[in-house]
Structure 1
Amino acid sequence: MAPTDATGNRTARDEPTLRLTVSQAVVRFLANQYTERDGRRTRLFAGCFGIFGHGNVAGLGQALLQSEIEDQGAGREPTLPYVLGRNEQAMVHSAVAYARMKDRLQTWAVTSSVGPGATNMITGAALATVNRLPVLLLPADTFATRVSTPVLQELELPTSGDVTVNDAFKPVSRYFDRVWRPEQLPGALLSGMRVLTDPVETGAVTIAIPQDVQAEAFDWPQSFFAERVWHVARPLPERSAIERAAAIIRSARKPLIVAGGGVIYSHATASLATFCAQTGIPASQSQAGKGSLVHDHPQCVGAIGSTGTTAANALATDADVVIGIGTRYSDFTTASRTAFTNPDVRFVNINIASFDSVKQSGMSVVADAREALDALTLALQDYKVDESYAARIGELVQRWNSTVESVYRSADSETGEALDQSRMIGLVNTLSDPRDVVVCAAGSMPGDLHKLWRARDWKGYHVEYGYSCMGYEVAGGLGVAMACPDRDVFVMVGDGSYLMMAGELATAVQERLKIIVILVQNHGFASIGSLSESVGSQRFGTRYRYRSDDGRLDGDILPVDLAANAASLGATVVRANTASEFADAVKAAKASETTTVIHVETDPLIGGPDSESWWDVPVSATSELESTKSARAVYESWKRIQRSYLRPAE
């Protein structure tokens, strides 16, 4: 009979153990982690992306192989399937995109080798943390024993012996740990799981494991590998906070909602639709919040801010109460704090994170978005915007809808005319199914999509605009396709972003996943070119050109064939330069079961409809260039109406 303590329980030191390497323990532990919300249990890790090198091939590489063989022998699907990526940063983007589509309840682990493989993931870590999306990073590290120092790819500092390149993850991770000894692993992993499953704290979790420790054996207590279910709570709002918020909203004559990504992550879209219908309060949407109301909901006024609709921005100008729900009020959302110019404007902020709920000196409601909206709907049964305001909302929305309609009509698929970007977006929106997903991240397309895309499904719009990372698109589309295999995924990417990270097309082909990539050839950076022009810098350094005889990059266009590049990675490629060719290509891509790249050239000098808004990008205060002087005058006129929104807290 096993020894027991005073309570009759068996003592911890006599608990059965398993002798495994640190890496084998990591894999077994991750396979037994679950999340639960609203009674629904989900496996936390869908699998592990990886690229193996000398830092992790004998550790996590061996452990993942052994796990797959054991699962195969038991007649079951891999509990932690491995996907070979082509670029470490891209693997993180795929994992993050997957987590976003799964509303942060499920994600992937990502492993890399030591040195450059690890530091390649830092940009992805920053993107995850900025967007508050969970991903577990497992970079290899140099030897804990230091017996072979300096090893290949090791950073040596004369002032510190315990710093490695992985310390660069610290400022961009929500949690960072390094496992120097096997005994440290349980604490590190459990702390990491706590952060990954906390909607307030979530982001990149980085656990660096030295390459010798990865392969070291240890006797692990079996309880370490027991199934763990991490409950994702819905914090309830305080009754007094709801009463104060309701009182402020009830006093409003021109209220406006700013719906952010938190509405979608909390599954609060139905609650928002009910609240808006009952009160008549219009709802604008940030990039992350687009889709929180479908485009034809009577109170949907579309995108807000620097890339917003004229309807939402006109209402923002006069709003006396702004109700922020699940938004962090980025500079694009507030038009660099020029959107809300009513001198008496007040803010009510509903957010699961107190950090965001106090922005703009707003009245703070710290709570789950769905729970708070349901409570406010009940508290405001006696409130409705007046008829004159409702009429103005309808008038502004109709005016903007007419603008969009004119763009969509100009994209007549029967014509043989060349396409511009707005017309191309109209064609994709029209030809796609309501549940299809559009993916984008950087360049001029996110702004045009924010304004023009008609969201018909709350998960149909996936634009990464927290970090706006060039190269995210193809990798992000791969993650979305993994998360939603029953939806077509349209990846819209310009040549600048495509050239930075196209390799995951090969991963999509390898995994037999279908994405439809709309590859726009601009012969340079269209968005930054436009921005450069707006600040008086004449599109300098933004075009893909030969160097001319006088030494400047303003010669002939480079003969780059991106369609041929995509074909070389295994994708089906269609070249389409007219509206009719493009429409046929989209229809064929939807009918196909494999990844298709549609290559199209558009005129980067033709912009989308104006948002009548602003984004704060400083302009040179002194210059000999007339273009810069003119841009500075415009800049100073906007700066005069920029506000801090500082006022006594409610």
Structure 2
Amino acid sequence: MQETVRLTVGQATIRFLVNQYVELDGKEQRFIAGAFGIFGHGNLAGIGQALLQNEIDSEPDGGRMPYIMPRNEQGMVNTAAAFAKAKNRLQTWMCTSSIGPGALNMVTGAALATTNRLPVLLFPADFFATRYPDPVLQQIENEQNFDSSVNDAFRAVSVFFDRISRPEQLLPSLMQAMRALTDPAATGAVTLAMPQDVQAEAFDFPVKAFAKRVWHIRRSPLDAGALRRGAEIIRNAKNPLVVAGGGVKYSLASGQLREFARRTGIPVSDTQAGKGAINCDHPQSVGGVGATGSDSANHLAARADVVIGIGTRYSDFTTASHTVFKNPDVKFVNINVRPFDAVKNAGEMLVGDAREALCALTEELADYHVDADYAETVAAEKKAWEKETYRCYHLGHGPLPAQTEVFGALNEMLGDNDVVINAAGSMPGDLQALWQAKTPTQYHVEYAFSTMGYEIPAGLGVKLAMPDSEVVSIVGDGTYQMLPMELATVVQEGVKVIYVLLDNHGFSSIGALSESHGSQRFGTQYRKGGGEKHTDLSLAELPVDIALNAQSWGLEVFRVRTVKEFREAYAKAKELDRASMIYIQTDLFGPNPPSSAWWDVPVSQVSRIESTQKAYREYLEAKAEQHHYF
């Protein structure tokens, strides 16, 4: 007879998770590093009780599940996603919420994780499975059926979703959850909706279910035929270009990418997720490509006859909305673990692990190297952009500094294994164009979902993942006002993060986009007034003191005015053993790096406003270069 142990569903969930491990290249570690949870009537007596019991047991089966109390449900999912990204998807945190608004707060974080292909495990509480007390507090009723709740919103943003309506359903669902979380080709947010009565229900679970289980991360090799076809396309290329995405980092393939570039001479551009996959001082490293990319990469993209996409999903920023690869005969060779991404742009599909693929492709192309003329062009483009980067970093702009000058100071002061974090506004564009990353870990920008409010909780997540690194999270005043509350969690946990807040009294990125599209920065500036004055720059700035607000959360705050003072403040912040913020005002209007690519944002086709009419004519002119790749 099978040995069993009587546990609640919540207790069984925690006992199962503390015994789940992953292995890659012979290195093994526990997969769920800990739990974030905000408790309410939906989960405090279920998963909450299970976490408490795990904490107070003298010898919990499988070990402890560390717990951290966050302040916002979206914030805790952002923290878990940032942790997973910093850990190259080999470890993450679980998140539990109560029913209703607490659960719905996690949906944006789930979308962020899935869009970025990052594993997070979510346990939103749900209605009563028995339905005796329906409708419970915070339950939305559906007149058409009784088996749906707000948690069904997670279906659209999760790679696996299930509702545990009976204890017998738990273990098969947890196995599928782990399968999805550890699958390099299919990972993202996994959501197990937990009815609150089921969480507390007891059941005789098989003891064997809680034995240590190791999930082996596969490295899928390329199909031999696909390898030959891809290599032949590259071998016939005169002006090839690599686009390195986040998949290179997650595959731990940076060394192989550097060797591939060295032996073939093929220049390597990068996406937001892929920056640092090749070190910036590598001769073949030519910087970011696309709408916010560098001139060096975009000029090479314009002439490329073969584009080798490695671990990229080809977002519209990477392709400049299908305008940056201008060669009418351009071909794509795509290396990706996901066939869904490998087929994009009608590319030759090389489905497999990035590291394995690069090793095989380097060997297959042993007789290939770009010609001398193209190599000289690559070197010249690289040198010219390095000169432009230096100029943007040392503008001497005034009276307020440009944000590129702050980035330059940080880029020069951060160590190779330190981390810079950002996600939204105008900053990711400047960072992709200018940041010079020497290692795969230094650059952490979430730009797949570009979630305002990511940066503050992400600082916590990255520091938990990389405790020995200086973690610097760059925050705009707009982002800060959306989700600052995890600063309390950072202080509560004694985690050292250096936050850099750039205050330009508005939404710089959207303001510039609005102006260039004929909408005159409408609704993008923090000014007194309102009514019909949303474009009036003469109005007084709001007396909101973000630095003082950050100080009230418990941070050490340094107010600075100049880049010189910023450098001095950073040196002081680095010496602290607690969280701090460096507050500096920057120019709302830039200047920003020169742009050499486009982004498709439609303009009103008819308007009585002259600025909109002009913008629409310019839009049609730019859109004329847009085309599908076949």
The TM tier, using the shorter chain, reads over 0.9
Matched, 1:459 2:441: yes
1:42 aligned to which of 25, 29, 36: 29
How far apart, in 1, do the equivalents of 2:526 and 2:534 lie? 12
So what's the TM-score if we normalise by structure 1?
Answer: 0.95
Matched residue of 2:417: which SS?
Answer: coil
How far apart, in 2, do the equivalents of 1:178 and 1:61 lie? 18
236-245 or 254-263, which deviates more: 236-245
Paired AA for residue 245 in structure 2: G
What is the aligned partner in structure 1 of residue 415 from structure 2? 433
| CA positional deviation for 1:544 | 1.2
Residue deviations 1:338-371 (CA, integer Å, cap 9, x gap): 0111111111000011111111001110010000
Note if contact 2:336-2:352 (Cα within 8 Å) is conserved in structure 1. yes
2:566 aligned to which of 555, 576, 582: 582
Paired AA for residue 369 in structure 2: K
Matched residue of 1:36: which SS?
Answer: strand
Matched, 1:470 2:452: yes
Paired AA for residue 383 in structure 1: Y
Root-mean-square deviation (CA, aligned residues, Å) is 1.4
Matches within 5 A, 1:26-425: 26-70=13-57, 73-74=58-59, 79-410=64-395, 418-425=400-407
2:515 aligned to which of 511, 530, 533: 533
Matched residue of 1:58: which SS?
Answer: coil
Note if contact 1:313-1:611 (Cα within 8 Å) is conserved in structure 2. no
Paired AA for residue 547 in structure 1: G
Matched residue of 2:138: which SS?
Answer: coil
Note if contact 2:180-2:186 (Cα within 8 Å) is conserved in structure 1. yes
| CA positional deviation for 1:80 | 0.9
Matched residue of 2:45: which SS?
Answer: helix
| CA positional deviation for 1:409 | 3.1
Paired AA for residue 173 in structure 1: S
How far apart, in 1, do the equivalents of 2:182 and 2:9 lie? 23
What is the aligned partner in structure 2 of residue 489 from structure 1? 471
| CA positional deviation for 1:548 | 5.0
Structure-2 change in CA distance of 1:549 and 1:242 (3 Å): closer
Residue deviations 1:36-92 (CA, integer Å, cap 9, x gap): 11111110100000101110011111110110111xx24999621011001000100
What is the aligned partner in structure 2 of residue 614 from structure 1? 598
Matched residue of 1:517: which SS?
Answer: strand
| CA positional deviation for 1:408 | 2.5
What is the aligned partner in structure 2 of residue 9 from structure 1? none
Unaligned runs of 5+ in 2: none
Note if contact 1:304-1:313 (Cα within 8 Å) is conserved in structure 2. yes
Matched residue of 1:120: which SS?
Answer: helix
Note if contact 2:15-2:62 (Cα within 8 Å) is conserved in structure 1. no
How far apart, in 2, do the equivalents of 1:494 and 1:87 lie? 19
Paired AA for residue 591 in structure 2: G
Matched, 1:21 2:8: yes
Note if contact 1:411-1:426 (Cα within 8 Å) is conserved in structure 2. no
How far apart, in 2, do the equivalents of 1:445 and 1:489 lie? 17
Matched, 1:643 2:627: yes
How far apart, in 2, do the equivalents of 1:262 and 1:463 lie? 14
What is the aligned partner in structure 2 of residue 595 from structure 1? 579
Note if contact 1:440-1:491 (Cα within 8 Å) is conserved in structure 2. yes
How far apart, in 1, do the equivalents of 2:420 and 2:455 lie? 10
How far apart, in 1, do the equivalents of 2:42 and 2:60 lie? 31
Note if contact 2:528-2:542 (Cα within 8 Å) is conserved in structure 1. yes
How far apart, in 2, do the equivalents of 1:278 and 1:446 lie? 31
160-169 or 549-558, which deviates more: 549-558
Structure-2 change in CA distance of 1:343 and 1:54 (3 Å): same
Structure-2 change in CA distance of 1:377 and 1:411 (3 Å): farther
| CA positional deviation for 1:207 | 0.2
Paired AA for residue 498 in structure 1: Y
Paired AA for residue 520 in structure 1: L
620-629 or 393-402, which deviates more: 620-629
How far apart, in 1, do the equivalents of 2:240 and 2:96 lie? 47
Paired AA for residue 582 in structure 1: F
What is the aligned partner in structure 1 of residue 528 from structure 2? 546
Residue deviations 1:249-273 (CA, integer Å, cap 9, x gap): 1100000000000000001100000
Paired AA for residue 318 in structure 2: T
What is the aligned partner in structure 1 of residue 482 from structure 2? 500
Residue deviations 1:252-298 (CA, integer Å, cap 9, x gap): 00000000000000011000000000000000000000001111100
Matched, 1:623 2:592: no
| CA positional deviation for 1:573 | 0.6
How far apart, in 2, do the equivalents of 1:438 and 1:265 lie? 18
Paired AA for residue 483 in structure 1: A
Note if contact 1:68-1:78 (Cα within 8 Å) is conserved in structure 2. no
What is the aligned partner in structure 2 of residue 634 from structure 1? 618
How far apart, in 2, do the equivalents of 1:350 and 1:423 lie? 36
Matched residue of 1:373: which SS?
Answer: helix
| CA positional deviation for 1:456 | 1.5
Residue deviations 1:141-177 (CA, integer Å, cap 9, x gap): 1111111111100111111111111111111110000
Note if contact 1:547-1:553 (Cα within 8 Å) is conserved in structure 2. no
Residue deviations 1:193-242 (CA, integer Å, cap 9, x gap): 11001011110000011111111111111011111111110000011111
How far apart, in 2, do the equivalents of 1:574 and 1:130 lie? 35
How far apart, in 1, do the equivalents of 2:366 and 2:263 lie? 7
1:520 aligned to which of 502, 510, 523: 502
| CA positional deviation for 1:626 | 1.6
Matched residue of 2:496: which SS?
Answer: coil
270-279 or 598-607, which deviates more: 598-607
Structure-2 change in CA distance of 1:395 and 1:33 (3 Å): same
Paired AA for residue 200 in structure 1: A
Paired AA for residue 584 in structure 1: E
Kindly, what percent of the aligned residue pairs are identical? 55
How far apart, in 1, do the equivalents of 2:373 and 2:216 lie? 46
| CA positional deviation for 1:108 | 0.6
Note if contact 1:411-1:427 (Cα within 8 Å) is conserved in structure 2. no
Paired AA for residue 249 in structure 1: I
Paired AA for residue 486 in structure 1: D
Residue deviations 1:553-590 (CA, integer Å, cap 9, x gap): 74421110000110111111110111221111111111
Matched residue of 1:121: which SS?
Answer: helix
Unaligned runs of 5+ in 1: 1-13
What is the aligned partner in structure 2 of residue 559 from structure 1? 543
How far apart, in 1, do the equivalents of 2:454 and 2:331 lie? 36
So what's the TM-score if we normalise by structure 2?
Answer: 0.98
| CA positional deviation for 1:411 | 5.7
Structure-2 change in CA distance of 1:280 and 1:90 (3 Å): same
| CA positional deviation for 1:428 | 0.9
